[in-house]
Amino acid sequence: MNIKNNRNFLEWRILYIKNNIIHLEGKDNSILNPEKFFYFCKLGNKIYYPNYFIFPGYDLEILYKDLYKGRNVVFNIFLENKSFQIIQFFISYNDMEIEIFPYLGCFSHIPCISNGYYDSGEYIIKYVEDRLYIYRYDQKLKISFENQYCKELKKRRKNNIINLRKNYFEYENKNKYKDMKTWIINDKRNMAGDSGEYFFRFLKKINPKGINFYFVIKKDCVDYERLKSLGNILEYGSENYFILFLTANKIISSVSESWVDNPFRDDQKYVRDLIHFDYIFIQHGIIKDDLSESINRLNKNFNYIIISSNKEYESILDEKYGYNRSNILLSGLPIYDNLQNLQKSIIKEKLIIIIPTWRVYIQGTFDFNTYESIYSRSFILTDYFNFYNNLINNDQLLTTMKKLNYSGIVCLDPYFSKQWKDFKQNQIFSVFELCDYQKL
């Protein structure tokens, strides 16, 4: 490794300023022996050293199956009372001190393009020549930086982003004295009926003061029509949605799909500085498997995860998730609260319901761009399909159910919903494309 030419030792995944302290968390990309080097930074005449945390999500298998333990590097740097200061980062290795130039990750708030900046309220941070330039907040300086940034966006033909930023700042100026918070709540983009909907209904019932809350869903779906009479239903993808998303204090979701915290997709890097919400995962079930690869803190950065059992609580405290007890709330889920309410109106039936979950390894049934089910011709070749199709057509089962006057329903996971037509239905078992899980 040529240490002098390497500019990718650290990636700042998380960056924020609070109480005059800039907090940085970075992925350590070095494969040097950790005992032979260390990182440090300089701010004026002061030197800061980081804390290191083992993070299995960054484990790397190198030559001869040697395992390199992944590390998270954390700096907390006290900002001095100056109008301008520069933070520089270094690596010390074999008696050499070499300046390094960490790059910016998705939770750094700073657009990683020329003239990108982040206004934290008290400070403005710019990424200049791969270094962090820190300025005391000044309105004229902020306007100047925004004009410079928009010129860069214009060069990149991002007029849509320029207009979005203009609308955002107009909305902020109009509402800055109202002291109202904005919460955006959702289930799936094209389907409600989960913890998001029932938390939204709870807010409708108590109508908390000082909060504008909205439920977001695509307009061209059945649940939009079902819910619109409640009011505050926000059309996913609309201009109003994007503005409210950028001004939101909280995003509250029952799913962890990437559109929830990044509806801008590749354009997110141009508005990264405007995003400042708490991200709350209220879930739609109980985590029984290891999901650390997908929902760890440096991948999703949830402020809170709502859970329902003690075992689940302890499992998410595993270091591979990267969360601590302040991030996890053991409260039960809104979707279960609604089931409690429905107990009063239970109608008992002789009914068997089969609800198999999704299988990520069955390819071609799910569009990762739209997060919707798509039909796959190869689905009928899977063990999954053959097992359940044979089960609902098993002669012994059907004979017994008919004798005891039972009927049956198969509810497919929404990611498999287009495959409903593949199943051989009969007089006992029906297979539905979509189900009302709560009612069933």
- pLDDT over threshold 60, residue 1: no
Q: 255 and 192 in contact (C-beta within 8 Å)?
A: no
pTM of the model: 0.88
**How confident is the model at residue 34, as a pLDDT?**
84
Domain parsing of the chain, residue ranges: 10-154, 175-339, 347-432
Confidence of residue 4 (pLDDT cuts 50, 70, 90): low
**What are 149-180's pLDDT values in tens digits?**
999 999 999 999 999 999 999 998 888 777 89
Residue 422 has φ and ψ, to the nearest 5°, of -75, -25
Question: Rounded mean pLDDT of 382-400?
Answer: 97
**How confident is the model at residue 367, as a pLDDT?**
83
* 103-107, strands of its sheet edge to edge: 51-54, 71-78, 21-28, 10-18, 103-107
**How confident is the model at residue 337, as a pLDDT?**
86
- pLDDT over threshold 90, residue 59: no
Question: How many other C-beta atoms can be found within 10 angstroms of the C-beta atom of residue 136?
Answer: 14
- pLDDT over threshold 60, residue 2: no
Confidence of residue 6 (pLDDT cuts 50, 70, 90): low
Euclidean distance between CA atoms 113 and 129, whole angstroms: 11
Question: Rounded mean pLDDT of 124-137?
Answer: 92
CATH topology of domain 175-339: Rossmann fold (3.40.50)
Euclidean distance between CA atoms 223 and 191, whole angstroms: 6
Question: Rounded mean pLDDT of 131-144?
Answer: 95
Question: Rounded mean pLDDT of 100-113?
Answer: 90
> Letter for the amino acid at 369?
N
What rounded mean pLDDT belongs to the chain? 91
**Which of 2-16, 28-42, 287-301, 416-430 is predicted least confidently?**
2-16
Euclidean distance between CA atoms 246 and 276, whole angstroms: 8
Question: Rounded mean pLDDT of 384-406?
Answer: 97
Distances (CA, A) of 417 to 82, 254, 372, 422, 423: 59, 19, 9, 10, 11
Question: Rounded mean pLDDT of 376-393?
Answer: 95
- Select from 394, 380, 391 the least CA-distant residue to 422: 380
**How confident is the model at residue 66, as a pLDDT?**
58
* Locus of tokens 């879930």: 283
